Structure formats: structure tokens, C-alpha cells
Structure 1
């Protein structure tokens, strides 16, 4: 039995009014297929181009190892020259990913390749973040710490995107004092015997291709699997409601620091406690 997932609505193009009225206000995801068709990036952005422009830059890499008490918040697992990393991506499947990387700060010329979309969102005009991954690499199920509205653009290849609205949190085995679900859940092939609440969850899925943009509303859970080597760019806008802004502030200024403090104090015992708590609490709510 697979997860209950319905295809995310798709449009070729969309007006600012329709996007805001039908998707931002209703907090519904959507894929806009041709938003980037007039960007220089649409023709230029592939792995070879990034290698040419940024091959000498040292980049932080992450893999799919479980959270450890030894790791700091978003601490990289390895470093590599971008040229070597892209050669690795093209040569074989790898779990190494680049996560939340401000490449345009390192290579300002890349800023000329994209346009800020006019879709009714007040996008944060800091330099966009880029994400890279190899074939079959995965980004575990999580939601973003700041509850932003996210415009997620895919380049060079395809990725599978699974989303859940915030109201599905009771079924997703959320780890307390964290932004993630249990990391031992395989969202491509979930174990419903071990995680029965997942059978109650209702989410969305799409296969995002080169040049397409996925809108992820505030606080949406997302899981990504790179079907081919590729990379993405995210633009973001802060949440519109005071409630979600307050939750974002709590995450950034209280929860994150408390979790780091407990990891330092309790070590792996704290990680194990949180994972067990996620299991017990979610299954208890189910019954």
C-alpha cells in the first residue's frame, strides 16, 4: 500500500493575481512549468556551466546519515571543490548533496541569469540559495525553520517532490524539538507496520523537471529525491500570519538553541529519546 498522494496541480503560466488568489491565499502547492522560459538560466544552467563558473570554489557537502549529537545545526559532513563534486555527480550515484548554499555570493555573475518573479509575494531579496544532489540522493522529510513561502526551481534533471500540509503533522512522526520526521522512514516505500499513522496521511507529489517552479506554502513538509543529478534554487517570502511568524521566531530563537544545548548535555541519549517520543506520541494519537 503506497502513501495517499495526489498530483500537484500544474499550469504552464500564471498571472500574479491568479497565483496569489488561488494558491498563496489558499495555501495550496502548484507547479508553474514555464516561469523560467525567458531567463538566461533556462538555456545556460546545467552542471557543466556551474563547473565552468564555480569549479574552483570549495563547497560544503551533506549526506543522509542520521542526526548525531556530535553534529552542529546544519553542519556539513565533508568539503570538496565544486569541479570535483560535479565530476562525482556525473560519474555515479552519490548521497552527497549541497544544501542551502549561497553560490551567488561566491560567483556574482550568476545573478544575471535569473529574474525575481512578480507573483504577489514579498520575496526576501537576499541572494538565493542553491541545492545540488546526485542520482537517488534524498532530502529527508522536514519543514523549514522560518515557515517561509518557497519558490523552488529545478535545473538539470528531475526530482520527485512529496509534500504534506502542516495539518498532516500528527501522522508524520515528527521528532520533538526538531523540524524533521523520523529519519528511518522511507517515504518512497514506507513500513506501515512500524509507522501505521502514515496510512492516515494525505499529501501531494510531483516530478519536477528542468526550468519548472514548485510553490511550497508556509510550513509545508517536503521530501525530495533526485531522480537524476541536478540542482535547484529557492526563493522565499516570510509567512504572512502573526501565528506563523511567532512559530518561526520560536524555532529560530528558542527551540534550536534548546535542542543544541540538550545534545551537548545528553549526547546520543537525547537523540534516542526524541526518536522514541516521536513514535510513542504519534501512535498514541492514532489510537
Structure 2
């Protein structure tokens, strides 16, 4: 039995007023299909174009290995030249991804290819981060540390995005002192006998194509799978709710430092404890026998 997922609403275009009224204020995801069609990026951005203009840059790579106490917060697992990485993407499936990478700082000409959309969000005017992935590579389900409202643009190929409203957290086996769920849950084909709480989760799904934008409200869980090799760009706006702003501050200034300290102090026992507690706390809250 698959997850209970509803297709995310889609619009071709939208006014600033309607976007704020219908999606930002009610914190409701939406896909805008044609927002980028007047950008140079819509015609130019492909893996071959990135290889051509940024092939000599050495980039950090992440795979789908479980979190280890030996890894720092967001430490990369490997690195290689962008040209070699794109060759790998186009040759065969790979688990290696580029995550939250500021390529535009290293290749400033990319900054001319996109436009800051006027959608009523106070976007943080720092250079956008880029994300790359190979066929079938996955991004562990998580929510963002800063509780931003996110405009997520996809280019070159197809990407499947599963979202959960923050009120679905009790069913997702959230790992304490972290922003993730249990990493051994397969959100493409979950084992409901092993993870019975997931049967109650109500999620949303969108299959993004080249140039489409997904709006992810603050605090939403997101799981992403690259159906084909491709890359994405995110623009961010700080949380509008004071409660989420305070949660973001706690995550950034307290939680991640505490977690890093405990990893160094307790080692793998800390990771194992957190994974165990994800199950114990979830099942206890829902009165599911452990």
C-alpha cells in the first residue's frame, strides 16, 4: 500500500495578490508552471550548459549513506570536478548529489539567467543555492533548519517531490534533535508493518518538469527524488510566523551545536539512541505497541 498522497495544485501563472491570498497566507503548496518562461535560464539551463561554464569547479557531493557520528553537520561525502560529475550523471544512475551549493558565487554569469520573482514574499537577496542529482537519487525527508518559505525551481528533466504539512510530524518518525525522519524508511514504498504510524500520514506530491516552480511553505517536510538527472534552484523567504522564527533560531543557534557536541561526546551511541527514540516517541504518542 502506498502513502496517502494528493496532487499539489497547479497554476500556469499567478498574480502577486492571488499568490499571497491563496497560498502564502494559508501556507498551502502550489506549482507555478510558467513562472520562468521569460528567464534566460529557461532556454539556457541544462546539464551541458553547466558543464560548459562551470566544468572546472570542484564541487562537494553527498550520497544516501546513513548519518554517522563521524560526519559534521552537512559535511560532504566526496568531491570532484563539475565536468566529471555531470559526465557521471549523464552516463549512469548515481547516488551522488550536490546539495545547497552556491555555484553562482563561483560562476557569476549565472546570476544573469534568473529573475527575482515578485510574488509578495520578502526573498532573502543572497545568491541562490543549487541542487543536482542523478537518476533515482533521493533527498532524505527533512524540513529546513530556518523554516523558510521556499520557491523551488527545477531544470533539466523530472523531479518527484513529496511534502507533508508540519501537523503530520507525529506520523513521520521524526528523529529528536534533528530535522529528519528515520533514514531507513523508504518513502517510495514504505513498510507499514515496520512503520505503522505512516499509514495515518496525509501527504502531497508534485512531479516537476523543466522550468516549473514548487512553493513549499515554512516548516513543510519534503522528500525529493530525481526521476532523471537534473538540477534545481531555491529562493528563500524568512518565516512569517513568530513561532517558526523562534524555532528557526533555536535550530540554528542551539540544536545543531548540541547535536554536534553529543556526536563527538557519545559517538555512534548518540545516533543509535536518536533513531531508537524516533520510534519509541512516535509509537508512544499514538498508543502503538512498541
Return the TM-score normalized by structure 1.
1.00
Shift of 1:86: 0.2
Per-residue deviation, residues 93-121 of structure 1 (Å, max 9, x unmatched): 00000000000000000000000000000
Per-residue deviation, residues 125-155 of structure 1 (Å, max 9, x unmatched): 0000000000000000000000000000000
Query: Superposition pairs for residues 34-113 of structure 1, below 5 Å?
Result: 34-113=34-113
Name the CA distance, whole Å, in 2 between partners of 1:251 and 1:37. Answer: 36
Query: Superposition pairs for residues 136-155 of structure 1, below 5 Å?
Result: 136-155=136-155
Return the TM-score normalized by structure 2.
0.99
Shift of 1:92: 0.1
Shift of 1:241: 1.4
Secondary structure, in 3 states, of the residue corresponding to 2:140? strand
Alignment-derived partner of residue 275 in structure 2: 275
Secondary structure, in 3 states, of the residue corresponding to 1:185? coil
Shift of 1:286: 1.6
Q: Which runs of 5+ in 2 are unaligned?
A: none
Per-residue deviation, residues 131-180 of structure 1 (Å, max 9, x unmatched): 00000000000000000000000000001100000000000000000000
Q: How many equivalent pairs are there?
A: 287
Query: Superposition pairs for residues 185-264 of structure 1, below 5 Å?
Result: 185-264=185-264
Name the CA distance, whole Å, in 2 between partners of 1:242 and 1:11. Answer: 29
Name the CA distance, whole Å, in 1 between partners of 2:252 and 2:158. Answer: 31
Q: Which runs of 5+ in 1 are unaligned?
A: none
Alignment-derived partner of residue 266 in structure 1: 266
Secondary structure, in 3 states, of the residue corresponding to 1:135? coil
Name the CA distance, whole Å, in 2 between partners of 1:242 and 1:198. Answer: 29
Shift of 1:242: 1.1
Name the CA distance, whole Å, in 2 between partners of 1:195 and 1:284. Answer: 13
Secondary structure, in 3 states, of the residue corresponding to 1:223? strand
Alignment-derived partner of residue 175 in structure 1: 175
Per-residue deviation, residues 168-224 of structure 1 (Å, max 9, x unmatched): 000000000000000000000001011100000001001000000000000000000
Name the CA distance, whole Å, in 1 between partners of 2:228 and 2:32. Answer: 20
Shift of 1:283: 1.1
Secondary structure, in 3 states, of the residue corresponding to 1:183? coil
RMSD: 0.4
Shift of 1:284: 1.3
Name the CA distance, whole Å, in 2 between partners of 1:45 and 1:285. Answer: 46
Alignment-derived partner of residue 26 in structure 2: 26
Secondary structure, in 3 states, of the residue corresponding to 2:43? helix
Secondary structure, in 3 states, of the residue corresponding to 1:232? strand
Name the CA distance, whole Å, in 1 between partners of 2:114 and 2:190. Answer: 37
Name the CA distance, whole Å, in 2 between partners of 1:32 and 1:143. Answer: 21
Alignment-derived partner of residue 4 in structure 1: 4
Per-residue deviation, residues 225-276 of structure 1 (Å, max 9, x unmatched): 0000000000000001111100000000000000000000000000000000
After TM superposition, the runs of 4+ consecutive aligned structure 1 residues lying more than 4 A away are: none
Shift of 1:285: 1.3
Name the CA distance, whole Å, in 1 between partners of 2:154 and 2:244. Answer: 27
Name the CA distance, whole Å, in 2 between partners of 1:133 and 1:201. Answer: 27
